[in-house]
Chain A
């Protein structure tokens, strides 16, 4: 997923000299081709995230479309004020390409995992928040990002994630529905790499006679509330599954949206709790630690346990 996104940025930059790439201190050889062919569009600025976002703002004020890449949690928290004031307040075309969203950097501990990005970015004006599920979706969203007006944050999975998204009609701001029919017992609402898990939950529940469908929001902000409204009305229960802390993420946005639209449906939320992760382990192992696996969630839903 990460490589596909970078490749897409590089291709876009070679076609459009207004596209700029800035990394902080990435792995050796990242976008070597762009650095060689278009050195004026490639910057590796060192471990200075706050400065990098200010610099990106300055380039963007002069009409550039700037893709900034480093570890997600540093982009969101280390440089939060530059993001808020220099970029979001002025609706600039800066794209934050955040490596290791969620629990990807689980072995490295809570300094590197990023479980609160949706919550932090919800409060900022103008910024669009994306969490693609796989590299197909990443490529489509990155291409769409080129002409999008305003800042974008892109939360990245670890790479090598199974390909599960449909290949057509992937657009910023548009949710994808995975279901044979319009109505059912459970609407699983999700984002990012939890889509794969929700599709597995769907299968397990089907074996037990429950009809579940999945509404995947690769755009977390602004939420495709029309799709949510449409499908929530035709299901008995809405279940949000996300790789994020309880508050401020997709669960908060979905529940607020449902309440505002007076859709009083049953609701459940599977999330990572309210604290940073104090255990170490691979993403899969930590999801298991938090009980956010298809088997555990399906079992709880069958038993009527909501979260």
Chain B
């Protein structure tokens, strides 16, 4: 548990480093993702630059591409990318953009950014793994706001119809989208029941107090896809960012912002 928390803290420090060097980004959306991605990359899978030479590998698809700072921090830690890229975040000549690109960044499974794409692409990969009789798994991380998109539900129908028991959808349910609370902008309730009614096995995990238990739910049910609703806080793990909509996307940083960011990690 302590190791897990320490790793999450390290990744958050790394996220801040990229953000401050690049001078912009979707910080709170990355912070709410940290426990989810750390569980996938460090506890569940063993993804290394070498593993990407084979199609027979587990897949992590960050469909909410605007959370890419968290992904970049992990890919850097795992040796996929160099820290020299941090200074070039969102800049000409850099490989790390405001949304992740598969053909630029080693370790990025699918290029995302426009919401509602990653699940369909992941279903294609899950079908491909099954066709190749691979035992590997596809995990797709969605945002809750992203679930406003119609294609998410087209894909959900398809996942169940194709009995994709090698597919796990994880929803970073941080309860906020750009304009305001998800419940007010476009409510998803009853969220778990929706996924259940689409034919998924559904788990809900408290990622604030019991994040360590996510790993116990990363299992599949025969003949069915799985959805895990991860209850997070937007900006999770940072005093300044938690629940602070003004930070959803920031591009003009001054020194006092930077001081506050560096001092605000929990």
Residues of A near any B CB (own CB < 8 A): 40-41, 43, 45-46, 48, 50-64, 81-82, 85-86, 89-90
Contact = CB atoms under 8 A, between A and B. Distances in A.
Given A40-B131, A50-B154, A63-B55, A55 B114 contact: no
Contacts of B121: 54-55, 57-58, 61, 86
Contacts of B150: 50
Interface stretch (B11-19, B31-39, B155-163): B155-163
Given A59-B124, A60-B124, A61-B124, A51 B114 contact: no
A46 B157 contact: yes
Contacts of A64: 128
Contacts of B111: 85-86, 89-90
3 pairs of A and B residues whose beta carbons are closest in the complex: A58-B124, A54-B120, A51-B154
Contact of A54 (B124, B129, B157): B124
Nearest to A94: B124
A89 B125 CA distance: 18
Contacts of A41: 131
Interface of B: 55, 102-103, 110-111, 113-114, 117, 119-132, 150-151, 154-155, 157-158, 161-162
Contacts of A53: 120
* Consensus secondary structure, chain A interface: helix
Given A86-B117, A89-B111, A48 B157 contact: yes
A127 to B, nearest CB: 17
A97 to B, nearest CB: 17
Contacts of A52: 120
A53 B130 CA distance: 19
Nearest to A84: B114
A188 to B, nearest CB: 41
Contacts of A56: 124
B123 A48 contact: no
5 contacts: A46-B157, A50-B154, A57-B120, A58-B128, A62-B125
B137 to A, nearest CB: 14
Most buried by A among B122, B129, B155: B155
A48 B158 contact: yes
Contacts of A46: 154, 157-158, 161
A189 B129 CA distance: 46
Given A54-B155, A58-B126, A86-B121, 8 more contacts: A48-B151, A48-B155, A54-B119, A58-B127, A60-B124, A82-B151, A86-B117, A90-B111
B10 to A, nearest CB: 31
A82 B113 CA distance: 12
Given A81-B114, A90-B111, A58 B158 contact: no
Given A54-B117, A63-B55, A89-B111, A48 B154 contact: yes
Most buried by B among A41, A43, A54, A89: A54
A25 to B, nearest CB: 12
A50 B151 CA distance: 7
A48 B159 CA distance: 13
Most buried by B among A58, A85, A89: A58
A59 B126 CA distance: 8
A14 to B, nearest CB: 15
Nearest to B103: A90
A51 B120 contact: yes
B54 to A, nearest CB: 11
Given A48-B154, A51-B154, A58 B102 contact: no
A86 B158 CA distance: 18
A50 B161 CA distance: 17
Nearest to A40: B131
B88 to A, nearest CB: 21
B127 A59 contact: yes
B148 to A, nearest CB: 14
Contacts of A48: 151, 154-155, 157-158
Contacts of B103: 90
A51 B155 contact: yes
Nearest to A47: B154
Contacts of B158: 45-46, 48, 51, 55
A50 B117 CA distance: 9
B127 A54 contact: no
A60 B113 CA distance: 20
